[in-house]
Every structure is written in structure tokens, then in C-alpha cells.
Structure 1
Amino acid sequence: MSDLDLPALAAKEKAQAREDWKTPMKEIDAALIACTFGRFHIKLLSIAFMGFMAGILASSTTAYLLPSAECDLKMDLLQKGLLNAMPYVGMLLSSVVAGFLTDAFGRKIFLGIGFLGLFIFQVIGGSSQTFEVLATAKFFEGLLYATAFSACVSLTAEFSYSSIRDRMLLCQSSFIAVSHILIAAMSWAILTNDWRLSFFGGKFVLNTWNFYLYIMSLWALGAFFMYVFCLPESPKYLLTQQKYDEAREILIKIYRENTGKPAETYPFYNIWKDKNKHSIDETPEHHVHTNIRHQIVEGLYNVKPMFQKPLVVHLAMTCCSNFIIMAMYNVLRLWFPQVSAIVEHNPLTEGQDLCSVLDTYTSSLKQVIVHNSSYVQEVCVPTKSGHETYINSMIVGFVCVIPYFITGMLVNRVGKKPLLIVAGLCSIASSLGLRWANSKTLVVALFAVSVSISQSMLSLNQAMTVEMFPTTSRTLAISMIMVIGRIGTLSGNIAFPIMLEMGCSIPFFTISGCMVFVTTIAFFLPSKKK
């Protein structure tokens, strides 16, 4: 982007305003420290948990409902793969645009739009009677959750002062693991039932998996109400818009909520009171006319440093890392219920390992498809996952919580970069070990370790991105690494079954090799913000 792309007036206003907000941005961390850690931050994390749960459901419910819905929706293997991929296609299309607009117009508006839209399309997905309707609903679920995700991460980071920010983000990221436990438990409780409700002479039928999607949609509805009505806008964003009075009032409310003391005792009670004079003289018409245009221009201007050294180099490295980490994480996470079900129905005997069972399964699947292709509709019987699959999924979820406690305790002492390197080495060993896993216990253990470590690496990568990029382009940077990561998820889920058909060893060796590359990149990432 060149300077000719931006109006000269915006450049002048930017240069004039830079000195106005530079000092407040330095002061706000001290103002947040004075607010202390308290009830507001606990409320912030609780609401973030509801938001994370709603978003993870957009992609995770598919893996559990496929066995129950395959006959009702007449899905073949290709359609199942497409259904798994649809949320990520939606995320790809909205992430960067939503990140840019969030930096320009604020966090709360996109949190509201994202979660309300997510609820609506989850209800539509629950009402679907055909594969096409469900796939379309899943696409919009991904699109709308991506709209809210970057704002969710930025809001948590910007309400936290520097000494607790890393732990807040790691705690927030741990909600992913907790969500997987709850999703597996709720799926077990709901999908093992046999519910069926028919309307209009059987033209509109609600099966167990339809009610499952209805129930899960309530998380998105709850997140919408909590974010819109229980949390204020980010004070750091308000400072970039020179809304000093609003930012001050929010800080005072946080102080009162956390400490229980009157506002007059807040050390920064009069902060920035002399900063808002220039905006009072504007007429309402002119302010409304220039506000949107100016915010967009300011947003474009703030993007420029991201594509200049050193930030562009840091962005490229974190994007490459996120591509591989998210590909590994989501491939192992989304395929685990199916692998667990295969092992459950084809127990490992002496002398067998995971790859021998998977190779046998893929070979038999090809033969069944060729032999029975003309009779699929007649003999289709949904094969529900056994209790063991749900229990194993919950075990994986519990194991995924452990690395967050470890990194939470060590991140301030050791640093994010060393933790990322160590996690990369552990990930290489665990993913490689899956090739020779020769018992159900070992299969579950290695899957759990691989998923949990890759999940921790994602959170560390995001935390480093938050640290490396300034407030004015932070949400866009997070959005960009998530977009690249979601491309990795799509690529991984397409490549994994192809490589699996070529031979079980190939995908596991490939995953390990890619994690070697990620660990190498980690050595060149900056340790601290410049």
C-alpha cells in the first residue's frame, strides 16, 4: 500500500494526533494496574469461555453428528469431508476483513454481530433436512465466528495490564480444552438417545442430531447477550479514537468493580480530562460524516507498518508456524473420534499397531464402497459411536488442560519463546510415536499429548503476536495468522485422508517433519517486543 492510496488530510491528522494518543497509551497500563485483578477480570474470562465454547461448537459438532446423520442426509465420504471443512471456508473469507474493521470500528459491535449470527445459523443447521442446507449453515457459522474471534482475543488482552496479560490469554486459550471435554460429554448425553419428531406427514423430521444442534446453539445466544450487555468497549480502542472521557469512565467502573472502593479513591480519576477539547466544537453533521470515513482511513494507515520491516518478517514467521500448528491440531482433533471408533470396533491384537488397523480399515472401506455402491440407500443404517469413543474424547480434553497450567506457571519466568521450542520438540516425539502405537491406551495417550501440546503452541503463538504488534494493528495481525492457520486446517483435512490411503505411515511422518520446521522457526522469533 502506497501513500497515494491515502488522502493527504488523513496523513496530516495522523501526524497531529500521534502525540495526543502516544502518552495516553503509555498511561493506560498504569491505570489498569491501579484497577487490580478482580471480579471484572473473572467476569471477562467467564464470558470469554462462553464465546469460545460457542465458536468451537461451530466446527466440533460435525465430528460427533456424522455417524447419526449420515443416513438422514444421505452423505458419502466426500460430503462428510466437505461438511468438516465448511466452517473453515467461512472463517477464511471473513477473518482479515473482520480484523481490519474491528480495529477501525471497535470490538463490541463485531462480538454482537458474530455471536447473534452464529446462533441463527446454528438453529438453521439444526432444522436442516438436506446436506446442502446443513453445509451452508456450517459455512456461515464459520464466517460469523471468525468475525467475533479476533475481537474476543483483543478484548481480553486490552483489559489486562502487562504483568497478567500472558496468563489471561493462556487461561482463555485453555477454554478450548475445557470446551472439548464439555462437548464430548454433551454429545454423549444427547446423541446416544433415540429422539424423533415428525411434522407435515413426515416432510419435516427432527432426529436426535437436530435436537443436538438446537441445544448447542444456546451457547452462542448466551455469548451474544453477555458480550453486548455485560462488558464495555476496550479502553485502548477508545484511546485510538480519541474518546478519552469514555475510556476514563470504563476504567473507573473496572476499579470500582474490582476493589469495591468509591470512584474518588481511584488514582487516575482525572486522567485525560484535558484531552477531549478538540472534538467538542464539531457540528453533529460533520462529525457523523467524517467519523466512518476517517476511521477507515486511519485503519488503512495503521496497516502500513505491518508490511514493513521488522513487523513483516515477524508476521511471516508467525503465519508459517500457525499454518502448520493449526493443520496438525485440527487434523488430529477432528479425526480422533473416527480413529477411536475404528480402534473400538477393531481391537489391537498382539503384533498389530495403529497403522496396521487403519490400513486394514481403509482397504476394506474401498471394497465395501465398490461392492455396495448401488445398494447404499437400501441398507444404510447409522452406526453410532460407542461409549468408549466419547470417554476417550473426554480424556483427551482433560489432558489438554494440563499444559495450560504448566505454561501459565512458567511463562513469566521462562518466556514464551523457550516454551514454544520445548513444546515443538515434545510434539515431534508424540506425533511420531502414533505410527507405532500398539494398544488402545497408547493411542489415546499419544493423541491426547499431540493435541494438547499443539493447542498450547497455538496459544503461545497468539500471545507472541499480541506482544509483537501495536494496538492499532493487533487485531488484524491476529486475524491474518488465524486465516493462514485455517488454510492449514483445510489443507490438512484434505491431505490427511489422501495420505492415509497411500499408507498410514505417511501422514504421521509428514506431521512430525512439519513440526521440526515450526520448532526451527521458533528459534528466530523475537523474545520480547521491540
Structure 2
Amino acid sequence: MSDLDLPALAEREKAKAGDELKTPMKEIDDALKACTFGKFHIKALFIAFVGFMAGILASSTTAYLLSNAECDLNMNLVQKGLLNAMPYIGMLLSSIVAGFLTDAFGRKIFLIVGFGGLFICTVVAGSSQSYEVLVSAKFFEGLLFATSFSAAVSLTAEVCHVGIRDRMILCQSSFIAVSHILIAAMSWAVLTNDWRLSLFDGKFVLNTWNFYLYIMSLWALAACIMYSLCLPESPRYLLTQKKYDEAREILIKIYKENTGKPAETYPYYNIWKDKVIDTIDEDPEHHAKMSIRHQIVAGLYNIKPMFQKPLVVYLAMTCLTNFIIMCMYNVLRLWFPQLSTIVEHHPLQDGEDLCVVLDEYTANLKATTQNITTVTADHICVPSKSGHETYINSIILGCVCLFPYLVTGVLVNKVGKKPLFLIFGLISVAASLGLRWAGSKIAIVSLTSVCVSITQSMLSLNQAMTVEMFPTTSRSFAISLIMVSGRIGTLSGNIVFPMLLNMSCVIPFFALSGSMLFVTFVAIFLPSKKK
């Protein structure tokens, strides 16, 4: 062997030693990078959109059907508020458990069960003839959506290499804004009709809002079928279970679908073939029991580092920021139709701002409540359907919410997630503070749209930073925890906001601005990159 061959040999030995030091989790990122970006990832995004649409409908349909169904179900204001909150109560009860089980048993099974169950519950809600049935169905809709949400976010992130993962997550998060536009448009198209079908001598009656829920249930059915037939299990999850052959086969399929080349040309065609698999248990039943027990124990072991420094500190910070951001996001989003209606019936005069109108409205509402009269026996309940302006403003808000995602998708890799998060936090503070002095319909719609769109982008950035901070073995559980904190924020905000509004208009808007300023301060201490 010549001396010229020695450096080359040394380099090969060094590279070989480096490869041996690589863990499967580090190797899979290189393997996914070799798959490139292509048809598979576009398909995964499309299916994620259908899933997000189905899930958002679980909590959004109640806001549109309340006025239509109030007479059919004899709902008062308290019952309406409970119906609006019921999906979030279901989400709270299932999110943490579902996140842990998703990390232990895989993403795909929870996507199929979650969206399949969501379809059934929505059909039950559409068939409801009483308030009790509808509110129960809405509870289970929220429970099943939370079961599938963390799995959907994790699966999309885990079929991407690090170079495109942030943009994939942001693109997936933008589906929320697109969903709100489509939901408003579909609600406008369906609920403005006057449909009624009476069966069994009037014992079973379907009104417009019943058909509306039937139509909306098709999204969950489509998501269940697509996740079942068109997407594989997460290859990263399979690696945590030491299922190397299955993970390799999935990577090869992604490569073939994206590039159109034969499997033999894949640079990682033989990856992990040298990994030793445990011997086969001769008793399948005993093996199944041990496997389930092993997965649960392994899942508990995997989440243990989350509650140790530094991850426990990061978890507490992301949960706190998500609590406040989601509180502001959903308070403004869910109260926007009501604010739009108030301003529609009370046009702003010269020198008046939003708080003047809202304070006058709350004062009149108190007087009306104090002077309420007894309803006569021949009283006929006439539902007050939402006007066209409510749907138009909702569509405008959804369209505005798309813009920050386009900007974020371009800047996230150049600027970084944390700097963007801080900038968006300051913008939300200014916009929510300006909303208090808004003096026209255009200003109210514009500032509300900015607040909602910016906070929505902050939620997606928070999720992206969570995905980056936590390992695959506990990622779904971490996402579930921050989503639980956010849903608690949603419930708390929608209870506290009308109470503060009843005291004085300025209090809730100053409270929202101050809260977002606090979020921006906390975010300074979040890590910029995974450690």
C-alpha cells in the first residue's frame, strides 16, 4: 500500500467510525433528507388539512348554529355558553392521556380512532332532538378531536427532515385560518336556507342546523379514511420501538413517491439492516400482553426527562405562554361575531370609539335584565338568524389570518422562530391596545383581524419550538400538555372576559395587552435552538 493511500484510508476509517457513533434518530434525518420534498409531503399536508378542518368544526359549529337552534332546543344564555364550552371540556379531559398513549402506541391508530369517532359523534349531534343529546355529543367531539390532534401534529413533523420541518409545521398551522374561512362560507351557504324534514308523525324533525351538522361530519369521515389508507406510521416512532425494518420500508416508499426512482437507487436502502431484533416469543398472547405492558412502562420512562431540568423549565414556560396566547386568540375570535353585531346595530358616531358603544350596550343589557317581564303562554319563539355581515366579517378575518403565515414561512429559517415570536408579541400588544380606541367598523375589523392572525401565528411558532425542544419519545405528550394549558386559557378567558366587560370596557382590553406583554417577556428566556 502506498503512502498516498494512507490519508484516504484514514479518512474512510474516520467516516466509518463517525457513522457508528450516529444513533438511529440522527441517521433518520439524513435518510429523510435523501427522500427530498415531493408528492408524499404534499399528500401529508393535504390530509392534515382535512383533519384540521374536521377538528376545528368540532368547536366552531356551535358559534354558527346557536341562533338557528335556540328555539328548537329551548336554549337560554347559560345553556348556550355551556354548549360553546363543552368541546373544550372534552379536549381537557383527553389531551394529556391521549398525548402519552400516542407516544407509547403510535400516531396512526389514534388518528383513525379519533377522526372515526368524531364522525360518529357529529352525526349523533346532527340527529339530536334535545339539548341534552347535542351537548353530550359536543363533549365527545372535543374529546375525540384532542385524541387525534397531537398525533396529527407529530406525524406531519416526523416525516420531514430538519431543513423543512419548521415550514411544514407553519404550513399545517395555517390550515386553521383557511378552515375558518371555509367554515364561515359553508355556514353562510347552509344556515341561510330554510330546510325542514318531519318523520314519524313529527316525532323526529330535522331542521336546517341538523343538516348543517350532517354536512360538516363528512370532513371527519374523509380524514379517517385518508389517514387509514394513504399515510404510514411515523418512521421516527417506529425507531423508538426498535422496528427498524418497518421504518426502513416507509423511508423507501417516501423516496420512491417523491423522486419516482427505483428503491435500489436510495442511498439508505440498507439502513439498519444490521440491527439485532429480539427473538420471537412462542406464545403470541403472552407476547401481546408483555408488549402492551412494555410500551406503557417505556412510555413512562421516556417522559421522565420532561420533568427534570432543563426540560421541565421549558415545559412550564411554553405552557404558560400558550395559556395566555390561546386565551387572547379564542376570546377575540369567539367574541368577534358578537362585537360585529353590536357595532352593526349601533353605528359609531363622530368622537365615539368601541368602548363607548360596548359600555352603552352592557348598560342597556343590565336594564333589560332587571325589567324583564313574564312570557305569556301564547309567546312564539322566533330565532334571530345572523345577518350577512357576520359571515362576511368572519371571512375577512380568516383571510387576514393567512398573511402572517406567508411572511413567517419565508422568514422562519432566516430570522429564527424565537425572534419572530418576540416581534409578533409586540405587534399583538399594540393591536389589542389600539382596539380599545377603534373609532370605525374598518378599524375594529382590521385590528381584531391583526390580533387574531398574529396570536394564531404565535401559537404555531410555540408548537414548532416545542417540537424542537422535546425528543421524539415525549413530543406528543409535550404538545398535549401545552394544548391543555391553552384550552384552560380559552375556558378561563371566555368566562372572565364578559365579567370584565360588564365592569368597564377598558379593563379587558388593557388586560389582554398586559398579558401579551408578559408573554413576550417570558419568551426571551426560551432556548433558540435544541440542546
Deviation for aligned residue 1:202: 2.3
Deviations 1:164-223 (A, max 9, x none): 000000000000000000001001111111111122232222111111111111100100
Residue segments in structure 1 that go unaligned for 5+ positions in a row: 1-18
Match of 1:246 in 2: 246
8 Å contact from structure 1 (residues 327, 489) kept in 2:
yes
Distance 1:365 1:408 in 2: 44
Deviation for aligned residue 1:102: 0.3
**Does 1:49 find its partner at 2:49?**
yes
8 Å contact from structure 2 (residues 433, 513) kept in 1:
yes
Deviation for aligned residue 1:145: 0.2
Q: Structure 1's 281 and 64: CA in aligned 2 closer, same or farther, altered over 3 A?
A: closer
Match of 1:477 in 2: 478
8 Å contact from structure 1 (residues 323, 486) kept in 2:
yes
**Between 456-465 and 19-28, the greater mean CA deviation after superposition:** 19-28
Match of 2:38 in 1: 38
Matched residue of 1:477: which SS? Answer: helix
Match of 1:449 in 2: 450
Distance 1:132 1:367 in 2: 31
Q: Structure 1's 371 and 302: CA in aligned 2 closer, same or farther, altered over 3 A?
A: same
Distance 2:423 2:502 in 1: 32
8 Å contact from structure 1 (residues 244, 276) kept in 2:
no
Deviation for aligned residue 1:90: 0.3
**Does 1:201 find its partner at 2:236?**
no
Matched residue of 1:138: which SS? Answer: helix
Match of 2:423 in 1: 422
Deviations 1:127-146 (A, max 9, x none): 11222211111111100000
Deviations 1:200-254 (A, max 9, x none): 2322221111111111111001000000111000000000001000000000000
Deviation for aligned residue 1:387: 0.8
Match of 2:508 in 1: 507
Distance 1:420 1:28 in 2: 29
Q: CA RMSD in A?
A: 1.6
Matched residue of 2:247: which SS? Answer: helix
Distance 1:363 1:74 in 2: 26
Deviation for aligned residue 1:79: 1.3
**Between 505-514 and 314-323, the greater mean CA deviation after superposition:** 505-514
Deviation for aligned residue 1:59: 0.6
Match of 1:170 in 2: 170
Deviations 1:102-161 (A, max 9, x none): 000000000011101111111111111222211111111100000000000000010010
**Correspondences of 1:344-355 after superposition (within 5 Å):** 344-355=344-355
Deviation for aligned residue 1:23: 1.3
Letter in 2 for 1:353: D
**Correspondences of 1:5-404 after superposition (within 5 Å):** 23-280=23-280, 284-372=284-372, 374-375=374-375, 378-404=379-405
**Does 1:458 find its partner at 2:459?**
yes
Letter in 2 for 1:499: L
Residue segments in structure 2 that go unaligned for 5+ positions in a row: 1-18
Q: Structure 1's 306 and 392: CA in aligned 2 closer, same or farther, altered over 3 A?
A: same
8 Å contact from structure 2 (residues 87, 143) kept in 1:
yes
Deviation for aligned residue 1:287: 2.5
Letter in 2 for 1:365: L
Distance 2:482 2:454 in 1: 18
Distance 1:58 1:337 in 2: 18
Matched residue of 1:278: which SS? Answer: coil
Distance 2:275 2:78 in 1: 59
Distance 2:193 2:353 in 1: 33
Give the paired residue count: 512
Distance 1:20 1:363 in 2: 73
**Between 380-389 and 302-311, the greater mean CA deviation after superposition:** 380-389
Distance 1:331 1:135 in 2: 21
8 Å contact from structure 1 (residues 322, 482) kept in 2:
yes
8 Å contact from structure 1 (residues 21, 242) kept in 2:
no
8 Å contact from structure 1 (residues 67, 383) kept in 2:
yes
Distance 2:130 2:281 in 1: 58
Match of 2:6 in 1: none
Matched residue of 1:53: which SS? Answer: helix
Matched residue of 2:23: which SS? Answer: helix
**Between 474-483 and 22-31, the greater mean CA deviation after superposition:** 22-31
Letter in 2 for 1:454: T
Q: Structure 1's 20 and 485: CA in aligned 2 closer, same or farther, altered over 3 A?
A: farther
Distance 2:265 2:316 in 1: 46
Match of 1:493 in 2: 494
8 Å contact from structure 2 (residues 354, 436) kept in 1:
yes
Deviations 1:65-98 (A, max 9, x none): 1111112221121111111111110000000000
Distance 1:127 1:487 in 2: 29
8 Å contact from structure 2 (residues 238, 247) kept in 1:
yes
**Between 74-83 and 136-145, the greater mean CA deviation after superposition:** 74-83
Letter in 2 for 1:438: G
Deviation for aligned residue 1:369: 3.5
Match of 1:6 in 2: none
Distance 2:179 2:279 in 1: 45
Q: Structure 1's 202 and 357: CA in aligned 2 closer, same or farther, altered over 3 A?
A: farther
8 Å contact from structure 2 (residues 281, 287) kept in 1:
no
Deviation for aligned residue 1:257: 0.4
Deviations 1:421-455 (A, max 9, x none): 00000000111111111111111001100000000
**Between 95-104 and 376-385, the greater mean CA deviation after superposition:** 376-385
Deviation for aligned residue 1:338: 1.5
8 Å contact from structure 1 (residues 326, 488) kept in 2:
yes
Deviation for aligned residue 1:281: 6.3
8 Å contact from structure 1 (residues 245, 276) kept in 2:
no
Match of 2:441 in 1: 440
**Between 205-214 and 165-174, the greater mean CA deviation after superposition:** 205-214
Distance 1:371 1:22 in 2: 75
**Between 309-318 and 332-341, the greater mean CA deviation after superposition:** 332-341
Deviations 1:42-71 (A, max 9, x none): 000000000000000011111111111112
The TM-score, its normalising length taken from structure 2, stands at 0.94
Distance 2:351 2:71 in 1: 36
Matched residue of 2:206: which SS? Answer: strand
Distance 2:512 2:279 in 1: 55
Letter in 2 for 1:93: L
Deviation for aligned residue 1:374: 2.6
8 Å contact from structure 2 (residues 319, 482) kept in 1:
yes
Distance 2:21 2:382 in 1: 64
Q: Structure 1's 494 and 376: CA in aligned 2 closer, same or farther, altered over 3 A?
A: farther
